[in-house]
Amino acid sequence: MISPWDRWYSTSCCLCCHVRTGTIILGIWYMLINAVVLLILLSALNDPIQYRYHLTSSELGTDIDVMDDANICIATAISLLMILICGMATYGAYKQHAAWIIPFFCYQIFDFALNTLVAISVVVYPNTVQDYLQQLPGTFPYKEDIMSTNNMCLVFAVLLFIGCILSFKAYLIGCVWNCYRYVSGRGTTEVLVYVTTNDTTVLLPPYEEAIAIPPKDPPPQYMEA
């Protein structure tokens, strides 16, 4: 009986790309995104007056500092950690080191779990969508038109959007997992040679191991008394 893991196992992704290539592309893409975010955060730390965003009193009734120095430092550390994790996954897929792919796979699982919790919170508390829209600044485009829409339609649209994101993230998780299985399988699988005759089947070790085995000493000759 084929297990569910083996049933969904495939060495290709995106219909034409190998899972190793797909994992390398995905790791590089995540590294580029986090590198751009890191540059923006470092620029904000270098010139906080220019990059610090304030909400005016006419929008929320008070002056709120959205991003202070502590939050910028935390976001910078997270971006550095993400670049390290993505770099490890890219290197592990390229050099076929399965252990280097595990941190990136764990990050994908954590990110998928967070998005799932967001979807559950929207279902349990549908009014949170309206509350979130009310917190948006007044200059947000089409804010009034969106808020005038029926609440159930907004919840359905948000759930549909989150469902599409979760489906795409689940597919990427499957690609990275298949890459991990492929790389780990190539490192542990031994090549076996079967020699089949009419009535027997002989299992031979790999050629490299066979030539490395030292020959056995011949048995001692029988000495007659």
Q: What is the pLDDT of residues 188-201, one digit of tens each?
A: 544 444 444 444 44
What pTM value is reported for the model? Answer: 0.68
Angle at 145 between CA 139 and CA 149, to 5 degrees: 140
182 residue type, one letter: Y
Residue 146 · residue 154 · CB < 8 Å: yes
7-20 pLDDT, tens digit per residue, is 555 666 665 678 88
Phi, psi of 127 (to 5 degrees): -70, -10
Q: How far apart are CA 150 and CA 152, in angstroms?
A: 6
55 is written with which tokens? 């909400």
Per-residue pLDDT at 43 exceeds 90: no
95-113 pLDDT, tens digit per residue, is 989 899 999 999 999 999 9
Specify the higher pLDDT residue, 123 or 54: 123
